[in-house]
Copies of this chain bind each other. A is one copy, B any other.
Amino acid sequence: MSQAPQYERRHKVCVIGSGNWGSAIAKIVAENTASRPDMFEPQVEMWVFEEQVEVSKKHKLYDASSEIFQGKQPLTKVINTLHENVKYLPDIRFPDNLHANPSLEDTVKDCTMLVFNLPHQFINGICDKLQGKILPFARAISCIKGVDIVDGKVTLFSESIGKKLGIYCGALSGANIATEVAKELYSETTIAYDPPTLDSKGPSPVGSFTNLQDALKTSFKHKDTSGALANVHLVPMPSEYPPVDHAFCKALFHRPYFHVRLVNDVAGVSLGGALKNVVALAAGFVDGKGWGDNAKSAVMRVGLLEMVKFGMKYFGETVNPKTFTEESCGVADLITSCAGGRNHRCAKLAVERGVSIDEISQQVLNGQMLQGTSTAKEVNVILKNDGVEDEFPLMTIVNRILEGKATVDDIPTFIER
């Protein structure tokens, strides 16, 4: 395949976030931009929330002459010297073209693709700071797991980002334990990317305009279901750049050890990453009881179908059941989470020790809230409001068990109803 540039300009990509998963994704992105110079500018900026870290002299890339070993140093400086995020992704070598940057504004400058991968509670604040700083025709991919469910309303993080910044944002999610991905152990992921059709041109793909002058603000039919994007105006990608489409997403994220499949179902991809945590609690309860592998796979199967049902009920026709039953973000992520994710582990321990799951998460996670418990609670608010708890017996009984209103022994009978 020829890699001679066919377009006048190349895409510039940045990663916003540098935790465990953020660093692992930044490594992948930088590997790909380096290998496709026809399509991408190789250099990838990764925004790092600056903090002071001390680098252990046991560090395997230790070079005594470096000043980074003298007391506390800024994390960005450490990363750019060692090519390693010693704090959040230790022992993994970054490519040289990945550059840690403490300045948000500098990180996103001239970028046509923003990859978001930071804790969800920071999204709004970061997007506020980015307003007016990004290219108006930029696109984004959110790697933030799950969805935001507050007071009975489901919001996709990709929608929040898209709305705040006035750009289109897709979603990446899959069976992706970050440290395994960082070690280049084989895994898969799912990317949902489905920018809306531009009204003024009819159903023309993003990127089909002839030059920057044509890149007028154009209102589009929103495809999201919460209405978050209804009033956003999308600026087409100038035709100087390679189009941002499924092939683009694959070029940016696919690696020999990280296989990407593209879908159009942003809601399904995002929901999978949230609802699987509730199912993982059920699987953990069952494992804690020692009911065996039949019972575990049964609650996983029932949970998978309730995930599909929830998606279809609340995201209507935009959701494809196959996103849950056939993609990495669905069934595979569920399997991985039920094999040894923290929700599963804590639920199992809670049953084995006969204490509440909150008590376990205090002990095991230093009081960090489990995602599954808050999701189970918020999902239940929705189901109860709509009077449809009966249609989602597994989600419902998980919440009742968490509330102390039912026991694990009630699960089979409750599901049977």
A335, B295: Cα distance in complex, Å: 11
Complex contact A291–B186 (CB within 8 A): yes
Chain B residue at minimal CB-CB distance from A302:
B188
Residues of B within 8 A of A333 (CB): 297
Residues of B within 8 A of A412 (CB): 186, 256-257, 259
For the complex, would chain A's binding face be called helix, strand, loop or mixed by DSSP majority? helix
Asked whether any CB of chain B lies closer than 8 Å to the CB of A4, the reply is no
Residues of B within 8 A of A185 (CB): 291-292, 294-295
Chain B residue at minimal CB-CB distance from A294:
B187
A325, B323: Cα distance in complex, Å: 11
Residues of B within 8 A of A335 (CB): 293, 296-297, 300-301, 335
Query: If the complex has contacts A304-B331, A411-B186, are A177 and B294 also in contact, measured as CB distance less than 8 A?
Result: yes
Residues of B within 8 A of A180 (CB): 291-295
Residues of B within 8 A of A293 (CB): 175, 177, 180, 335-336, 339-340
Asked whether any CB of chain B lies closer than 8 Å to the CB of A328, the reply is yes
Chain B residue at minimal CB-CB distance from A324:
B325
Asked whether any CB of chain B lies closer than 8 Å to the CB of A15, the reply is no
Shortest CB–CB separation between residue A139 and chain B, in angstroms? 25
Complex contact A339–B187 (CB within 8 A): no
Query: If the complex has contacts A413-B256, A415-B259, are A186 and B305 also in contact, measured as CB distance less than 8 A?
Result: no
Asked whether any CB of chain B lies closer than 8 Å to the CB of A249, the reply is no
| Residues 63-77 of chain A, each 1 if its beta carbon lies under 8 Å from chain B, else 0 | 000000000000000
| Residues 373-417 of chain A, each 1 if its beta carbon lies under 8 Å from chain B, else 0 | 000000000000000000000000000000000000001110110
Residues of B within 8 A of A257 (CB): 412
Q: Chain copies in the assembly?
A: 2
Cβ 8 A contact of A331, one of B186, B325, B336, B415: B325
Most chain B beta-carbon contacts within 10 A, residue among A297, A328, A332: A297
Complex contact A326–B297 (CB within 8 A): no
Complex contact B259–A298 (CB within 8 A): yes
Asked whether any CB of chain B lies closer than 8 Å to the CB of A176, the reply is yes
Query: If the complex has contacts A292-B177, A293-B180, are A326 and B298 also in contact, measured as CB distance less than 8 A?
Result: no
Residues of B within 8 A of A325 (CB): 322, 325-326, 331
A185, B296: Cα distance in complex, Å: 10
Residues of B within 8 A of A175 (CB): 293-294, 297-298, 301
Chain B residue at minimal CB-CB distance from A416:
B259
